[in-house]
Structure 1
Amino acid sequence: MDLNTLQTLLFVPANRPERYEKAMASGADAVIIDLEDAVPAAEKDGARNTLAGWLESRPAASVLVRINGTGSPWFNQDTILCRSSAIAAIVVPKAEDPGALSELANITDKPLLPFIESAQAFARLDDIASATGVVRLLFGKLDLAVDLGMDYPPPEGEPHDESPFLFARSQLVMHSRANGLAAPLDAVYTDIHDQQGLADYTRQSMKQGFGGVLLIHPKQVPPARAALAPTTAQIAWARRILEAERRVNGAVVAVRGNMVDAPVMARARRILQHIEAG
């Protein structure tokens, strides 16, 4: 599993083993078995045991697991589970301590995908992004909203105004790039029935520099994957740009009245490379 190229990551509760295989067959790039928020405290140990048995028959590096936080009573047993060869990486909730992340990576010998979901995490974002074992950052929008006392999420029927999170999202993208990490993955879209809303949300994430999105239901996978793919208009635009580049041998050129220079040409190449890779 190439953690750097994942675009759609689907959560499934660890206490719902009947959903494991459905999630694996959903078409998502990766599945995150969730031992944390999705599992009530009374079911944590049973869910972990069930997951451990299932992992025994899984191929190497085929699934991700979100463990419970470092301060929880389940953390130590969760880390032991994560030594399984079937686990490709550990999703770390409420990451705030770079040292604790490095220690977890050393103990488990697994790459880490920490959730950035508090003011303290954003205050230490550069140290977290550069910590040993960290390969990619995840945006925990809902927990951040609680931590900051934000008026979010909106009541049913009201629009999802994402503008209050623009600064946080920009920080994730910038710090990921500065530390040589793949583009971060955006927070979940909570309305599982609103496929158009999810598509719009995902396209906006891409515009802001995110590399993909976290999902909470298999029905979200197709619209998210479609939204992440270049549009027909983008593909046509990229081909026009690269045709102009060939004509002028990389020099600055006007295409339909718009200046095209090296960064624009690089963007066009990236679009077509996405098509070739997909």
Structure 2
Amino acid sequence: MTPPPLTWLYAPGDRPRVVARALLAGADVVIVDLEDAVAPDRKEYARAATAELLGAPQPVPVHVRINALDGPLAAADLAVLAGLPGLSGLRLPKVTAPEQVARVAATAPGHPLYALLESALGVERAYPIAGAHPAVAGVALGEADLRADLGVSGDAGLDFARSRLVLAARAAGLAPPCQSVHPDLRDLEGLAASCAHGRALGFLGRAAVHPRQLPVIERAYLPGAAELDAAEEVLKAAAQEPGAQALPDGRFVDAAVVAAARRTLSLARRP
């Protein structure tokens, strides 16, 4: 079982030096952003610089967040970037309908697609979007835009949408979604607490906007010593006596518990 990514680091596409540093920062995936992080008068330069970067394979997977699908720039982004050897995935912002995803899949075949849901309508259609095409590899929330759309503040107002996303991803057979970014770069304690909350909701990993956030995210999502010990006990018991059983400490073991233990140990084997 290949360990899943836990850290996804955004870098603005119009700042090649920042992108170059991001590639060496230790993130599992680097996301080059052509959308919100790039001013309108820098869009063409960002696209050209990103195409130059992705003309060759990169040391870590590189995804590109293209411009909004309902605007004029997304088609140009796809025309330039699709097929480049360094491109590992496309992140599609502000998705509101499965047809949008299907059109991108037809335009840029062979690339994993990640749909970003950033509005009430997008969240309401989470499951159809998650299952829109076999190329869909994941879904995620864009929480800043979603907060603005819903008129909510703080975390509690988004928990329904977060759980809805986790359920939709699972129902569509996708990996658990990663959390949206924590925008306060200095608030590492708040980031850790937010990651713990996201993990409890069923998320796996998190997007970051600065390298200093990466170790906090990784620590929050990697299993601790007690979790590893418990997982190993479950697998040992299952190997000795297949089928449902109760451990001496009262824990019940069945196929679902064994699968969860395997996932826990897979995370611990990350390189």
Cα gap change, 1:251/1:165 in structure 2, threshold over 3 Å: closer, same or farther? same
- Mapped to 2, the partners of 1:61 and 1:215 lie a distance apart of 16
Identify the residue that residue 113 of structure 2 maps to in structure 1: 112
Q: CA deviation at 1:205?
A: 1.7
Contact 2:178–2:207 at 8 Å: present in 1 too? yes
Identity of aligned residues (%): 34
Is 1:217 equivalent to 2:218 in the alignment?
A: no
- Mapped to 2, the partners of 1:67 and 1:4 lie a distance apart of 26
Identify the residue that residue 90 of structure 1 maps to in structure 2: 90
Secondary structure of 1:185's counterpart equals coil
Secondary structure of 1:114's counterpart equals strand
Q: Which amino acid aligns with 2:115?
A: P
1:79-228 aligned within 5 A? 79-83=78-82, 84-109=84-109, 110-132=111-133, 133-152=135-154, 162-228=155-221
Instruction: Structure 1 unaligned segments of length 5 or more: list them.
Output: 153-161
Contact 1:89–1:113 at 8 Å: present in 2 too? yes
Identify the residue that residue 19 of structure 2 maps to in structure 1: 20
Q: CA deviation at 1:227?
A: 1.5
Contact 1:60–1:85 at 8 Å: present in 2 too? no
TM-score norm. by structure 2 comes to 0.90
Q: CA deviation at 1:249?
A: 4.2
Cα gap change, 1:80/1:195 in structure 2, threshold over 3 Å: closer, same or farther? same
RMSD across aligned positions (CA): 2.3
Q: CA deviation at 1:254?
A: 4.1
- Mapped to 2, the partners of 1:261 and 1:4 lie a distance apart of 23
Q: CA deviation at 1:124?
A: 1.6
Secondary structure of 2:267's counterpart equals helix
Contact 1:7–1:212 at 8 Å: present in 2 too? yes
Q: CA deviation at 1:203?
A: 2.5
Contact 1:241–1:255 at 8 Å: present in 2 too? no
Q: Which amino acid aligns with 1:143?
A: D
Q: Which amino acid aligns with 2:188?
A: Q
Cα gap change, 1:3/1:88 in structure 2, threshold over 3 Å: closer, same or farther? farther
Contact 2:53–2:86 at 8 Å: present in 1 too? no
Q: CA deviation at 1:245?
A: 3.9
Paired residue for 1:237, among 227, 230, 235? 230
- Mapped to 1, the partners of 2:263 and 2:186 lie a distance apart of 32
Q: Which amino acid aligns with 1:119?
A: A
- Mapped to 1, the partners of 2:103 and 2:119 lie a distance apart of 21
- Mapped to 2, the partners of 1:98 and 1:249 lie a distance apart of 42
Cα gap change, 1:181/1:251 in structure 2, threshold over 3 Å: closer, same or farther? closer
Secondary structure of 1:176's counterpart equals helix
Contact 2:78–2:108 at 8 Å: present in 1 too? yes
Secondary structure of 1:271's counterpart equals helix
Identify the residue that residue 155 of structure 1 maps to in structure 2: none
- Mapped to 2, the partners of 1:43 and 1:68 lie a distance apart of 12
Give CA deviations for 1:91-114 in whole Å, capped at 9, x if unaligned.
000001211211111111122101
Give CA deviations for 1:237-261 in whole Å, capped at 9, x if unaligned.
2233334445554432144244444
- Mapped to 2, the partners of 1:61 and 1:213 lie a distance apart of 16
How many pairs were matched up? 268
Secondary structure of 1:137's counterpart equals strand
Q: CA deviation at 1:142?
A: 1.1
- Mapped to 1, the partners of 2:2 and 2:104 lie a distance apart of 18
Contact 2:4–2:267 at 8 Å: present in 1 too? no
